[in-house]
A = this chain, B = another copy of it.
């Protein structure tokens, strides 16, 4: 009979946070973590069947968090959390534990042994195990802080953070047509896990949720199966569920000046702890695809302002040709209609504002009328939502011909702090 050898207790990477938790008497499932998070000595080698490139590892530590300008991976598991009634020290402990676990998982390593650290055998496994044989598959884990972490809904300053809330971390306004569901909105914390293997992304969110037990709990979450944006020039432009290429004009990592100007927050923006961070907007957008599918190709293309096959602007050229909004067709009408999506979303129509988009297609089963519950889980990163996402979306919500086929049902905004320095933790610039 094969039985794992006993593993002696060893100091955990983030013992401090866990001891803080234990001190508060909030143990529960955390008991299995009593020895802290440790590198798995039993970790198995990556599967031989893994496809080439599946071993891609993006560093967790660095100036910026990974998962923003990182080449958009194919799959997403996004999660929003509510923080429990804990102290500031316990919040710090959670962020330390999350960072330590994220550093392990993004390296393709379990968050602990699949057996227990202290045990060997009579405690729950530290790692849930479903990714044991899988490589990192480009996993990135990106953490964000919602407005309610700084100022609770009831106005209290739970963690002494209200004075450090960035002015860019606004409450998103109600946009015309919004049909938001409260249970798909907001959250004190968020985690974006992206990977080329969905099981790796799911494993990350599951284990981070488990580590948070008693300190934060899942508020809402979303799986996305297909990326809808490229974030580097080397990536082929993918298609959304309208069947159109999406993200042709997205900010690309190689555009270093644009990234610096539009994506990364600066210490000069007012919240110095956010220097090197960004702001994440998520919108769950249901598409009424059955109605769209009954719309003529002509109308579909006019609404988008691009051709369906090539993705070229309606003013001519190929996919990456700049749209010519002045070009006129027969009768003097603009070739790219005034209410087309490409025109209304273009930087020239929005005071130069751009977004780094990182959204995903989703299908959540079907509704009782037999329609697929499908759409776009929109994610964008920007330096200042009040100057970028908010005015662009207000313009679209008021004027975009595409609105007839869209329903915004979920929403959230989070401040995404800078990356952690080696051995540090995300949020250290705010709470350290």
- Residues on A facing B (Cβ under 8 Å): 1-4, 28-29, 32, 42, 44, 47-49, 51-53, 75, 77, 79, 82, 114-116, 119-125, 127-133, 183, 198-199, 202, 205-206, 209-210, 217-223, 225-226, 235-236, 238-244, 289-290, 293-298, 300, 307-310, 312, 314-317, 329, 335, 361, 363-366, 368-372, 374
Contacts and interface: CB of A to CB of B under 8 A. Distances in A.
A310 B2 contact: yes
B370 A218 contact: yes
Nearest to A362: B223
A235 B29 contact: no
Contacts of A335: 1
B220 A199 contact: no
Q: Which 7 A-B pairs have the closest CB atoms?
A: A129-B243, A217-B370, A198-B225, A218-B370, A49-B236, A199-B226, A121-B298
Contacts of A329: 1
Contact of A223 (B121, B235, B365): B365
A3 B316 CA distance: 9
B290 A29 contact: yes
A226 B242 CA distance: 25
Contacts of A240: 130
A363 B202 contact: yes
Nearest to A227: B199
A105 to B, nearest CB: 14
A82 B370 CA distance: 9
A183 B125 contact: no
A289 B125 contact: no
B225 A365 contact: no
A371 B239 contact: no
B296 A75 contact: no
A122 B296 contact: yes
Contacts of A132: 239, 243, 309
A236 B49 CA distance: 6
A132 B315 CA distance: 22
A130 B297 contact: no
A363 B297 contact: no
Given A130-B240, A294-B29, A365 B125 contact: no
Contact of A243 (B42, B130, B314): B130
Given A202-B363, A309-B114, A300 B125 contact: yes
Nearest to A47: B236
